[in-house]
Structure 1
Amino acid sequence: MTASSDTMPAARRGEAALLTRVSMAHLVSHFHIMTLPALIPLLPAYLGVGFVEVGVALAVFNIVSLLVQTPIGFLVDRLGPRRLLVAALVLGGLSFLSVAATGSYPLLLVAMAAAGLANGVYHPADYALLSAGIDGERMGRAFSVHTFAGFLGTAIAPAVLLGIAAVSHVAAAFAASGLIGLAVAALLLTGRSMQPAPARPAPAKAGDRAGGGTGLFTPAVLSLTALFVLLNLSMGGVQNFSVAAFVAGYGLELALANTALTAFLFASALGVLAGGTLADRTSRHGQLAAIAFLATAALVALVALVRMPPVLLVAVMGLAGFLAGVITPSRDMMVRAAAPPGAEGRVFGIVSTGFNVGGVAGPLLYAGLLDHGYPQAVFATAVVFMLLTVALAWIQERGGWPAGR
């Protein structure tokens, strides 16, 4: 009894240190994802190119991430998540520092390819570390804190980077983005708290040996990959195009449109924390995700169909964001359940390619709706993808597909 009571606090402290460092890396990953989009209004003058060229740079980032995500998941399980996570932070940091140093468009394309390679590491490495190092009873809350940190990085990046550019220069904003990556990489190199306990993973089954692909492309894993595609297509439409749709189709001023989106984003981050607690209190993660996202779809449909007073619009967008955030820890728990023991990196690498597929296809679809004069269809289309997500989550819950654990 004494030994148990003495070791438990140390184990919990180790889990907290691991979660803190992994979450900081996740914040940096989202900060890096938002660096180019946040600075888009200033980049044509800085680089001497048009907006189309900037869009090409963003496409390069997403395409590289799409191509490398699954193979990096295999490398994470073979080489270890900690060293690859540190390498990703260093590579991403140096990528943005190089843009700051030169201001060259050709180098920007190279830098975004390198940043896309780094981006392919975060999800497999982060989830492998958390799955191996956090007790299962607290896994939902751990996933929620990790995701909250990423949402926070997305939310603060525009204000931080545009603020630095306003008081200094665009190059200084790129440099700041690079330095934050190097700083967190240095933090991850200190201490041993990033190393999960070796005894925690369950014994691997035959065919599930590290480095092998046998047993990974199950119906459950493929379904979850499709789920990630649909999530990106629906949420990406709201996050990236709602402001333009509000201004063009609803006659809102830019400041009010941005306020509505800000309410959505920050409420999403809070919803993630609430969702982590709920995820630890149920084993029906697909059902929880389906119910929360169905309510999200109803609220976004209301935005598409009804002209609301500004205060009500902001409130509805905030509530929709909160409910959308609630599903995220349950989504991650579904992926963990589908992963064979010791193969978390590979499985999270596979399913995370869905985000990149959505990241390439979604902007083309929503931008086309705006270009053809259908701004309200942005929200209607997002609702369609939300309903498809609900159906797939429910099938995942009720289908009884074999899971890895």
Structure 2
Amino acid sequence: MNGNDRAITGIASLAHGAVHTYEMTIPLFVVVWLTEFDAIPLGVTSVDVTTATVGVVVTLGYGLFGLGALPGGILVDRVGSRRLISACLLGMGLSYVLLGLAPNMLVVAAALVLWGIAASVYHPAGLSLISKGVEERGTGLAYHGMAGNLGIGLGPLAATVMLLFVEWRTVALVLGAPAVLAAVYAARADFDETAAVAESGAAADGGSKATSGVDDLGEFLAESRRLLAGGFVLVFVVVMCSGLYYRGVLTFLPELLRDLPGFEPISVDALLPESVRSAFGVEPGAGQTLKPQDYFYSGLLLVGVVGQYAGGKLTDRMPVEYGLAGSFGVLAVLAVLFVPVSEAGLGPLVVLGALLGAFLFVVQPMYQATVAEYTPSGTRGLSYGFTYLGVFGVGALGGTIAGGILAVANATALFLVLAGIAAVGSVTGLVLARRAG
């Protein structure tokens, strides 16, 4: 990678890790909010703080995180990635500062809304920047994806450790400060956003706006029709399958693991000597336990770092269409095997979990690179906006689908449905490969 590649990859990776650190830290605070706050003030009235009302508050932030990707993609093509990434980092940092100062749940809701709006622009901005500015695109996507996985796994872990020593407001303030500093750095960093766009790109775009994005609703509709009338519509199917499978597997995975042999709670008293228990504030006989399923879950996500790197490297060495077909095929097989393997013992399940964690994330740099190959450079931000509308927006339904299946059936039915979703992704990859061939 040359100097420009490294500068862009560094900025994008920093912001990507921050986005997912904040995303996955919010659930840690939910437990505290349920005990600290009694009501949500709404002017002339108020509502009780319950799991339902806090769930609505959190959904506001997560919902905007997905829904804002499409307008964020439009903005990327108009104002450039650098400005939006800087604004994203600044907005996320300030949202966590506001969270740390929140006197009640209404301000907490406002902070989460601010976070959702700010974070929503990142994926179209960051991926557009890599696709247009990094010559070794696959390698850039690999490092970018690894940084996101480190944020997913290590960010909440760091927050968990801090919560042992300070209150949640202090943790929020500590987490918010680095993003504000990173925003200043991103705004001042020296790199060329379009270094990897070929001079002939305008001609290759087939008449689409190649340099300036969309100016109004008419052009938005025209460019959207152009995208969805070509190969990108198949790419959109692939990203929806990825999002549905991802949320469908992960949303209830800790709950599914909880009753399996080998995942019984472990008493902290049995693991830690007296000096360590005192340092961490663990009272003898308090009944505090470690939940093995949570650590299995975190480990699975951290294995995704390897998957991201491998997937990114593979995009530079093979047609991405075949890579998608093969990776989704593996995910389908893993889904079919999950229940019987989980009944075979902890050792086989650990192996399957490692493979699942890797292949969940192998597909991400592959479909990100596929978007770049099937869309014009001038509307790349719009393309990634549609992409993450599919991944985070449509994909969010994976949790609902999983919950509904588990409510009326069992884990076997759930994983068979997930295998079917992966099979659709695999077949779509083959169709794309045939079109490209």
* Deviation for aligned residue 1:367: 2.7
Q: 1:328 to 1:67 in 2, by over 3 A?
A: closer
| SS of corresponding position for 2:101 | helix
Q: Give 1:145 deviation, angstroms.
A: 0.8
Matched residue, 1:13: 3
Structure 1 position 277, deviation (Å):
1.6
The answer to whether the 8 Å contact 1:70/1:346 transfers is: yes
Question: Structure 2 residue aligned with 1:168, among 166, 169, 177?
Answer: 166
Q: Deviations over 1:117-149 (max 9, x none)?
A: 1122111111121122111xx211111111111
Q: Is the 8 A contact 2:248 2:398 kept in 1?
A: yes
SS of the aligned residue for 2:130 comes to helix
Give 1:386's aligned residue. 422
- Cα distance between partner residues in 2 of 1:250 and 1:228: 34
Check 1:124–1:199 CA distance in 2 against 1; reply closer, same or farther (3 A cut).
closer
1:338 correspondence with 2:398: no
Residue from 327, 332, 348 that aligns with 1:297? 332
Q: Of 158, 177, 180, which residue of structure 2 is paired with 1:179?
A: 177
Q: Secondary structure at the match of 1:85?
A: helix
1:155 deviates by 0.7
Report the residue type matching 2:23 in the other structure. I
- What is the CA deviation profile of residues 262-317 of structure 1, one whole-angstrom value per residue up to 9, with x for unaligned ones? 332122210111122211011x2121111122112212321223302212211111
Judging changes above 3 Å, is the alpha-carbon distance between structure 1 residues 260 and 371 closer, same or farther for their aligned structure 2 residues?
same
Classify 1:176/1:201 alpha carbon distance in 2 versus 1 (closer, same or farther; 3 Å).
farther
In structure 2, the partner of 1:220 is: 231
Does 1:208 find its partner at 2:209?
A: yes
Show the 5 A alignment for 1:102-251.
Answer: 102-135=102-135, 138-193=136-191, 195-197=193-195, 200=198, 202-204=200-202, 205=205, 206-209=207-210, 210-211=213-214, 212-213=219-220, 214=223, 215-248=226-259
| 1:258 matches 2:294 | yes
Alpha-carbon contact 2:248-2:418 (below 8 Å) kept: yes
Give yes or no for contact 1:188–1:194 (8 Å, CA) kept in 2: no
Letter in 2 for 1:239: L
Change (3 A) 1:260 1:21: same
Q: Give the residue type in structure 2 aligned to 1:391.
A: V
Matched, 1:271 2:307: yes
1:14–1:193 CA contact under 8 A, matched in 2: yes
The Cα shift of 1:173 comes to 2.1
Q: How many residues end up aligned between the 2 structures? A: 388
Matched AA of 1:224: V
Contact 1:124 1:345 in 2 (8 A): yes
Structure 2 unmatched runs, 5+: 39-48, 266-290
> More deviation in 111-120 or 39-48?
39-48
Distance verdict in 2 for CA 1:128–1:390, change over 3 Å? same
Q: 1:300-338: per-residue Cα shift (whole Å, max 9, x none)?
A: 321223302212211111022223322222211110011
Distance 1:103 1:366, change over 3 A: farther
Structure 1 alignment gaps of length 5 or more: 1-10
Map Cα deviations across residues 85-125 of structure 1 (whole Å, 9 max, x no partner).
Answer: 11111111111211210142122222222212112211111
Q: How far is 1:69 from its partner?
A: 1.6
- C-alpha separation between the residues in 1 aligned to 2:61 and 2:237? 21
Contact preservation (8 Å) 2:320, 2:367: yes
For residue 77 of structure 1, what is the aligned residue in structure 2? 77
CA distance in 1, matches of 2:178, 2:417: 36
- Over the matched positions of the two proteins, sequence identity in percent amounts to 23
Cα 1:393–1:104 shift into 2, 3 Å: farther
Greater fraction helix: 1
Structure 1 residues 157 and 93: CA distance shift in structure 2, 3 A: same
Paired with 1:308 and 1:258, the residues of 2 have a C-alpha distance of 20
How far apart, CA to CA, are the structure 2 residues paired with 1:303 and 1:188? 43
TM-fit CA distance, 1:384: 2.5
Please say if 1:39 is aligned against 2:29. yes
d(CA) in 2 for partners of 1:198, 1:304? 45
Alpha-carbon spacing, 1:222–1:61, altered in 2? closer, same or farther (3 Å): farther
Q: 1:100 to 1:323 in 2, by over 3 A?
A: same
Q: Report the equivalent of 2:320.
A: 285
Q: Give the deviation of 1:372 after TM superposition.
A: 4.6
How far did residue 174 of structure 1 move? 1.9
SS in 1 for 2:227: coil
Cα distance between partner residues in 1 of 2:196 and 2:156: 40
Q: What secondary structure, in the 3-state scheme, does the structure 2 residue paired with 1:232 have? A: helix
Q: Quick one: which amino acid aligns to residue 115 of structure 1?
A: W
Cα distance, 1:36 vs structure 2: 1.1
Q: Distance in 2 between matches of 1:181 and 1:313?
A: 37
Cα displacement (A) at 1:198: 8.7
> Displacement of 1:195 after TM fit?
4.4
- Going from structure 1 to structure 2, the CA distance change for 1:162 and 1:57 (only over 3 Å counts) comes to same
Aligned counterparts, 1:88-103, within 5 A = 88-103=88-103
Alignment partner of 2:26: what SS?
Answer: helix
Structure 1 runs of 4+ aligned residues shifted over 6 Å read none
Distance 1:119 1:90, change over 3 A: same
